[in-house]
Amino acid sequence: MTAGQHVTTAEVVRTVPGPAGYMCGLTWDGTRLWHSDQDAATIYAVDPRDGTVERRFECPYVRADLAFDGTRLLQVGGRPKQLVEIDPDTGEVTGMKPVPPASGRLTGTELGPEGIWMVLRAPTVVQLRDYASMDVLREFPALGESPSGLTYAAGVVVYGDFDDGVLRAMDPRTGEHLGQSAVPGHPTGITWDGERLWYCDFPARSFRALTLSCLLTP
pLDDT tens digit string along 94-106? Answer: 999 999 999 999 9
* φ, ψ dihedrals at 216, nearest 5°: -100, -5
By DSSP bridging, strand 73-77 and strand 82-86 are antiparallel
Q: What is the pLDDT of residue 48?
A: 97
For residue 66, what are the CA distances in angstroms to 8, 37, 91, 106, 150? 27, 10, 14, 11, 9
- Name the DSSP class of 9: B
pLDDT at 6: 54
- Residue 134 pLDDT > 50: yes
Note whether 85 and 68 are within 8 A (CB): no
**Domains delineated in the chain:** 14-216 (2.130.10.10)
d(CA 156, CA 110): 12
- Amino acid sitting at position 135: D
pLDDT surpasses 60 at 4:
no
pTM above 0.85? Answer: yes
Q: How many C-beta atoms surround the C-beta of residue 210 within 10 A?
A: 21
Q: What is the pLDDT at residue 7? A: 73
Mean pLDDT, residues 149-175 taken together: 98
> Could you give the strand order of the β-sheet that contains 73-77, starting from the edge strand earlier in sequence?
62-68, 73-77, 82-86, 93-98
Q: Are strands 42-46 and 33-37 parallel, antiparallel or unpaired?
A: antiparallel
Q: Can you say whether residue 41 is alpha, beta or left, with left for phi > 0 and alpha for psi between -120 and 50 degrees?
A: left
Give dist(CA 172, CA 190) in Å, integer.
Answer: 17
